[in-house]
Amino acid sequence: MNDDAANSATAADAVAPNGHRQAQADAVQNGGEGDLAAELTAARAEAKENYNKFLYAMADFENYKKRIERDLSRIALDGRKTVLRKMLPVLDNLERALAFEDSDGVRGGLQATLRMFEGVLAGENVKAVPLKGLPFDPNLAEAIATQPAPEGVSEDTILEEAHKAYTMGDEVLRPAQVVVAKTP
């Protein structure tokens, strides 16, 4: 082996990745540029494959992050709904107390409390949906009773609301409980 070939083999050992040193050294000794070209092509293919795996892993990770964000938002929204549903019966009772109380002092305090509750609900994008006099909609109400339709009132019209319907944005938080007109 001449000195140039030995130096080339030593240089190839220093630069080549593990496992490929001997093949590259043999290629240099044999003057096999074709072998080096094949190894280079194979290394590039492997690098491209690894890069594609990296891209897929990054895409999967981004999808995972988005899914987690959606799940956390849904969990937070469900928690808010649970608390708000618990508040609605209190609101119903305040409204009933206002309807039957005669004392002006108590009535004023109840009205102030009711306005505070309504303000909290409005801040959470919760709105009461008045249904009395409208056609029955099973998406917004549950019929708890029927009554004969009064003169001039069409069938399936809501006559009374035992509990109001409430929405949170476009979603029904609680359906109303209503009395519906039916023809005998």
**Token pair of 66, please?**
């988005």
**Token pair of 23, please?**
């093949």
The domain segmentation of the chain, as residue ranges, is 127-184
Provide the β-strand partners of residue 146. Answer: 180
What letter would DSSP give residue 152?
T
Question: Would you give per-residue pLDDT tens digits along the chain (184 residues)?
Answer: 445 544 444 444 444 444 455 555 555 555 567 799 999 999 999 999 999 999 999 999 999 999 999 999 999 999 988 888 888 888 887 887 777 767 777 777 788 888 888 888 888 899 999 999 999 999 999 999 999 999 889 999 999 999 999 999 899 999 999 999 998 7
Q: Where are the beta strands (DSSP E) in the chain?
A: 126-129, 141-148, 158-163, 165-168, 171-174, 176-182
Q: How many alpha carbons lie under 13 Å from residue 154 in its C-beta half-sphere?
A: 5
Those residues whose C-beta lies under 8 Å from the C-beta of residue 28, and which sit 6 or more positions away, are 5, 8, 9, 12, 36
Model pLDDT, residue 8: 46
Provide the β-strand partners of residue 166. Answer: 128, 174
Contact 157, 127 (CB under 8 A): no
Model pLDDT, residue 22: 54
Provide the β-strand partners of residue 127. Answer: 167
Model pLDDT, residue 83: 85
Shortest CA distance to 92 belongs to which of 122, 145, 128, 125?
A: 128
Those residues whose C-beta lies under 8 Å from the C-beta of residue 125, and which sit 6 or more positions away, are 168, 169
Q: Which CATH class is domain 127-184?
A: mainly beta
**Token pair of 171, please?**
């979603």
Contact 146, 180 (CB under 8 A): yes
Those residues whose C-beta lies under 8 Å from the C-beta of residue 35, and which sit 6 or more positions away, are 23, 26, 27
- Dihedrals phi, psi of 142, to nearest 5 degrees: -115, 130
